[in-house]
Amino acid sequence: MYVRVVRFTDVSAERVEELLARIRESDGPPPGVPSTGLTILFDDSQGTAVVLQQFATAEDMDAGAKVMAAMDPSQTPGTRASVDVCEVKLELSA
């Protein structure tokens, strides 16, 4: 599994709620984004968010990254501060 980790600053609770509403109303990821999972973390006190986009392969992650990088900033939770592309080496659950 591969995960694209995107950190945002200047994030407001209102913007997160708008994003969540759009996601819940959609039929899945945006066209061209072959993700297998999505996690959104929000720190209201710091105005930051971390978005974890999961992909089955590195190629899928690259394809999704191209689409996401071209998104209009109004469709994101805030200002994109960093992007990491990672291979999951270990995942534990209780």
- pLDDT confidence bin for 70, thresholds 50/70/90: confident
Q: Name the fold adopted by 2-87.
A: Alpha-Beta Plaits (3.30.70)
Q: What is the pLDDT of residues 8-31, one digit of tens each?
A: 999 999 999 999 999 999 988 988
Please, which residues have CB within 8 angstroms of residue 86's CB and are 6 or more apart in sequence?
Answer: 2, 3, 4, 5
Sheet with 37-43, strands from edge to edge, namely 37-43, 48-55, 2-9, 79-87
Say what the pTM is.
0.90
pLDDT tens digits for range 71-91:
887 788 899 999 999 999 999
Q: What is the pLDDT of residue 88?
A: 96
